Chains A and B, each alone.
Chain A
Amino acid sequence: MRAYVPEYDLETPKTLDDVLRLLAREPGVWKPIAGGTDLMVLFEAGQLRHRNLLSLSRIPELGGITASETHVTLGALTTYTEIQRSELMRREFPLLVKAASWTGAVATQNRGTLAGNIANGSPAADSPPALLVYDADIVLLSERDPRWLRYSHFHTGYKTNLMEQDEIISHISLPRTTAGCVQYLRKVGTRKAQAISKVALAGLAMIHTGTLERIRIALGSVAPMPIRCHRTEAVLTGRVLDQAAIDEAKSAIASEISPIDDIRSTAEYRKRVTVNLLDEFLTSMITEFKSTGRSRSRFGNEAEPRP
């Protein structure tokens, strides 16, 4: 049933202090809203639990992409379009740019924000696997002291996270350590555009003198939340990348996911595709190193490959 509009309130504060004051005064009452591409869908369906919404869209401190020597920092209001248009992001964080281009289509990308995607917490969201392999930090603001959290610790279960009711996400911070890394992202969905993923795998690796010095692997849509695959990473770190290492990693990743059957796919399919995507990522590194000796990025977003 549709929402009854007069029952809902929306405040549009113009300063960050006003936002934080309202959240501190009535914690749990006010739901922050930015681009509305998730919340307005719930609203229209009559499923938005909160009756009081707090628009962040006029708070200038929450916008913009800035860079220091060591980090690139994205304001909470950074849209998927802004991520794609940023030369710096395209050069250093191409996986996040790619994920942004897969999130809905143009009209959604112009309104939807990175922090909204994180706060909404869908396990099938497009940006989290990339944020996880980039080892992102999240900055939370409230009237208390600001908190820095590792993004890999942020989600605690299906649509639950470590954010308190008086906090908002203010920034997402990415360490500038991607130079020379192999980067991989592939999303498997029903069709190329506008589709929610069945499985998505992001990978980032640094190879030094023939061994995997550092490797990060993250997955979407195969657990109650986006996950880093620490056990699989442990299997591979410090190893020479050969077939034995790849086979061991494939067993490890199959054991650390918990996919389900739902409207988009089956647990069995998701497990098989996860293993295949890992195989593709790792195998591509072997062949690339043999052929060029240099790192390159690999991307894909395709309708279902053969399992």
Chain B
Amino acid sequence: MGKQRIELHVNGCKRHVESYPMARLLDVLREQLELTGTKEGCGEGECGACAVLLDGELVNSCLVPVLQVDGRDILTIEGLQDGGHLHPLQEAFAEAGGTQCGICTPGMILASYHLLKLHPHPTEEQIREGLAGNLCRCTGYQKILDAVKQASQRAAGD
């Protein structure tokens, strides 16, 4: 099967790629668009390291054939910062020590971003459910939960 020209709206920019239709969104982001912030962990939708937002909804990019997202909006971890300033969630993860080896961090932060959009003031239970699909093999969960709470409280204070 031949490659097709596919248009993606990534982090607010229109990007065109020539790609096989069943190529995984994860691979297109990393290898063709050089957005290597999105990580591959398990490759089977269990770990959340490859999570991105597709039209505002959290998805695992390892399970998305790229042709299905032709013309749709994708937000990766690179798109969260604003003019060189870290997003409050990124700052909170850094300050709370919510990042160790860093492989789970982009997915964790995007899952947290998705959670806080739905529940700006989440309960502990809601945070745990919102991040249940993101695994941290360093087991640094407590500081990750602290980071999400901190970001939520800071947003409330602003």
Contact = CB atoms under 8 A, between A and B. Distances in A.
Interface in A10-26: 10-12
B44 A41 contact: yes
B68 A55 contact: yes
A111 B25 CA distance: 14
Given A10-B67, A36-B65, A105 B48 contact: yes
A106 B59 CA distance: 8
A3 to B, nearest CB: 8
A81 B114 CA distance: 13
B115 to A, nearest CB: 8
Interface residues of A, number: 32
Contacts of A9: 1, 21-22
Nearest to A56: B68
B57 interface: yes
Given A81-B57, A104-B45, A194-B132, A6 B20 contact: yes
Nearest to A34: B68
Contacts of A55: 65, 67-68
Given A8-B1, A9-B1, A9-B21, A107 B67 contact: no
A110 B62 contact: no
B21 A40 contact: no
Interface string A31-74: 00101110011011100000001010100000000000000000
Q: Which of A7, A11, A105 has the most CB of B within 10 A?
A: A105
B60 A108 contact: yes
B21 A110 contact: no
A44 B43 contact: yes
Interface in B112-138: 114-115, 129-130, 132-134
Contacts of B59: 107, 110-111
Interface string A95-139: 000000000111110110000000000000000000000000000
A162 to B, nearest CB: 27
Given A104-B133, A107-B45, A36 B68 contact: yes
Contact of A107 (B1, B22, B24, B133): B133
A5 interface: yes
B132 A106 contact: yes
Interface string A126-154: 00000000000000000000000000000
A53 B57 contact: no
A104 to B, nearest CB: 6
A57 B65 CA distance: 11
Interface of B: 1, 20-24, 43-46, 48, 51, 54, 57-60, 62-65, 67-68, 70, 111, 114-115, 129-130, 132-134
Given A40-B64, A44-B43, A111-B64, 6 more contacts: A11-B21, A12-B68, A35-B63, A44-B44, A107-B133, A108-B60
